[in-house]
Structure 1
Amino acid sequence: MSKFAWVTLTTNDTYSLGALVLAHSLRRAGTAHQLAVLVTPSVSEAMRNKLKDVYNVVQEVNVLDSQDAANLALLSRPELGVTFTKLHCWRLVQFEKCVFLDADTLVLQNCDELFEREELSAAPDVSWPDCFNSGVFVFRPSVDTFGKITEFAVQHGSFDGGDQGLLNQYFADWATADIKKHLPFVYNVTAYASYCYLPAFKQFRDNIKILHFAGKLKPWLIQFNSETKSASTPSEYAHAHDLIQLWWNIFCDNVHERLTDEMQSHGAVSSDNLKKPFNEEAGLAGALSQLRLGAQRTPEQEQYENLMRRQCWESGQIDYAGRDSFDNIWKKITQTLDAKPAKEADKTDNTLSYNQLLTQTATELLHPPTSEVSSPSLSSSPSVRSSSSSRAVPATNNVAATEPAASSKVATNKATINTPKATAPQPTRQAQPQTSQVKVEVQSQPQPPPPSQAQPQLQSQTAQHIVQSPNGAPVAPSRAGRQRAMRKFK
């Protein structure tokens, strides 16, 4: 048996879907070497049994976490911390040489020639070509190397918080030391492409040997129609539609029949969950196991599609030009509002009536219908305004005022206040008002505004009382009087 092996890693049952398709793509490409997969404790026993059907070695490893939240936040990819677990691949010392492949890769052509390369051989990363992409690399298993890399990680961390930054720091001479360790880009082609990348992708697509679904959108998260066995490829992946469909073709031919509803996305199996015909908590693998391929759509199919759409939304992949267009979203919102339960409608109507009652009561308090105001103030009587300025003048004495009847004419009531003789008012703020015989003229208010405008108008109205001395000169209010007026106004 070969002493070389293809190695991958899976941390849950969902990523195990990718590992299963990857293994079958290697078999289809006619590899002569063994297959090994590292699994963490969160992979269910049911999924491990399916992995054993296609992998020569299924080895459990513990989870290594970079704990580098700051750098991971820069990538908006906190899940990359557990990719430090990838370092366990150096402990597969039963093999002489290995090639590591991420579980989200797909082998399109035979690549056994990679085992002729030395450690650490890798392809340049599309975002920064002086760094290699750690989705595909050649290495030699060694416990000593594993210890050195983990010690380096503890001391220096990772510049991106994940395994790629760490390995590029540890193998820092990759870009300059030996050009033979630079794998051609066709061994690790990123499926997602920007506008300037598309012409090259179309030109060299027939030469691609390994396709890498790097990023948040994985092939198993793309909406899939079980009746037609076709994938609904997002627009940004339209150039790779046939390759994404190839992933699903392998899934339908070799993986689907091996799935069971016992497969979870995070490990533990609940007996209550297994009683349900379709359960989102059972994870994507369990949901896919219940689809009937090539058959008429079923309720399970519809629930699966809803689950897929939700996961696509959560990963930031939204079909704005299709099912998730604005028109469709607005149509759904309208249908939901039209289908509002009767009880909820009654509750809303009661709430509105209550609010209207509050508004009406407030209006009546602000504009009393009676013809007599016993305690004039800014909140319950016509407001007061000096004839020489717009300053509010408080009514500091007991004044009997009569509210005029409903009429468009201005009515005037007079009240006499017995006070000492007044002198000329002082222009400064510090001056105290001189007491005198004061004549108060009360102007009637205009018709009250509608209930919805009563409160705003009350706050914006200025005082309308005109206070004058016998000789017609205005009386300046005292500072204490102004403060009392402001408190009542508030």
Structure 2
Amino acid sequence: MMMGSETVRGIRSATAARSREAYVTLVTNADYAMGATALARSIRLTGSRADIVVLHTGGVGAADLAPLEALDCRLVEVEHLPLSDAFNARHARGRLHADAPFTKGRKPSFHTPLDNFCKLRLWQLIDYRACIFIDADAIVLRNIDRLFEYPEFSAAPNVYESLADFHRLNSGVFVARPSLLTFEAMLHSLDRPDVFWRRTDQTFLEAFFPDWHGLPVFMNMLQYVWFNLPELWDWKAISVLHYQYEKPWEADHPKSAALRPLIDLWHAYHTGEGIPDLAALANPARAEVA
């Protein structure tokens, strides 16, 4: 199959797949390599026997990827999608953040919107019958292998400010079925004249899969729920904790005081030391954010 100058092929790492299912994440710089390390360790601790695949762009150094190799992840180097110059210009960081500014939180300086579209390379992982994609700024608190049996395309809602957001998906956790036919269709749909994906891959996936299957909010609990909707927070139910906007490895970010328990939890998973009994953690009380 051909798309423009690119032959649509499957992609795989130098190591053989050991499962027909895989958790997949994307690493585009050293910061997200740290995040992926915490994510991979958290998945391993749930007892899952699925593969963990790390898609990474060429700018990530071998030293940054080494902790992921030590956690027995399959590393797959990927290139950016073959998109037009006009598309790339519309979705470059400065242009995108000006045309669709983030008003609810702060994206860190290492956030590069065009990198997000590399996530679609998951559909080229044809070694696998099913994949669960999880953003590298998340950790898995309980085994979620049952999601491998969920339909494509399954994702949780983008709820972090109000219940009115239940109609929008968040692409930080989703269930997909690798397919070169699907990937080719995505490339055809993605880069059209003057198209603008306001929230990059998230907006695109919502449009490409308009009948997406909704996962419970606990499968992708966004960190701002901690102080915006504390009545939704239940440590006994949360399966995936997603650190949207500010990242837990950033020193003293604007929300660090309000999110301190969540930041401390991420560091425990990153180092593998002092991971607490989740059932013993206290749920949040209503608090003001500075």
Instruction: Please report the TM-score for the alignment, with normalisation by the length of structure 1.
Output: 0.45
Residue aligning to 2:257: 235
SS at match of 1:151: helix
| Residue equivalent to 1:213 | 243
Alignment-derived partner of residue 277 in structure 2: none
Give CA-to-partner distance per residue, 1:311-355, whole Å, 9 cap, x none. Answer: xxxxxxxxx97xxxxxxxxxxxxxxxxxxxxxxxxxxxxxxxxxx
* Corresponding position: 1:108 with 2:146: no
2:40 paired with 1:23: yes
Correspondence 1:135 to 2:172 = yes
**8 Å CA contact retained: 1:97, 1:115:** yes
Q: Does 1:86 align with 2:119?
A: yes
Counterpart secondary structure, 1:245? helix
Q: By percentage of residues, which structure has more helix?
A: 1
Deviation at residue 81 of structure 1 after TM alignment: 2.3
* Long gaps (5+) in structure 2: 1-17, 274-288
C-alpha contact 1:72 1:81 (8 A) present in aligned 2: no
* Cα distance in 1 between the residues matched to 2:44 and 2:228: 34
Count of equivalent residues: 237
Q: Is 1:75 matched with 2:101?
A: yes
55-64 vs 20-29, greater mean Cα deviation: 55-64
Instruction: Structure 1 unaligned segments of length 5 or more: list them.
Output: 175-180, 225-231, 255-319, 322-490
- Partner in structure 2 of residue 309 of structure 1: none
| Identity of matched residues, % | 34
Q: Are the aligned partners of 2:38 and 2:271 in contact in 1 as well (CA < 8 Å)?
A: no
1:191 aligns with 2:229: no
State whether residues 158 and 165 of structure 1, in contact with CA within 8 Å, keep that contact through their aligned partners in structure 2.
no
Q: 2:4: which partner in 1?
A: none
The 8 Å contact of residues 233 and 244 in structure 1, kept in 2 or not, is answered as no
Pairing 1:159–2:197 present? yes
SS of corresponding position for 2:64: helix
Greater Rg, structure 1 or structure 2?
1
Instruction: Tell me by how many angstroms 1:247 deviates.
Output: 1.4
SS of residue in 2 equivalent to 1:160: coil
Measured on the aligned residues, the alpha-carbon RMSD in Å equals 2.5
Q: Say which structure, 1 or 2, has more relative contact order (CA 8 Å, 6+ apart).
A: 2
In 2, the alpha carbon distance for the partners of 1:205 and 1:246 equals: 12
Q: 1:103-132, CA deviations, whole angstroms, 9 ceiling, x for partnerless residues? A: 001111111111110110111111632121
In 2: Cα distance, 1:194 partner to 1:82 partner: 28
| Structure (1/2) with the larger strand percentage | 2
Alignment partners' CA distance in 2, 1:72 and 1:108: 32
Q: Which amino acid aligns with 2:216?
A: P
CA contact (8 A) 1:72 1:161 kept: no
Match of 1:478 in 2: none
User: In 2, Cα distance between the equivalents of 1:115 and 1:58?
Assistant: 21
TM-score when normalising by structure 2 = 0.75
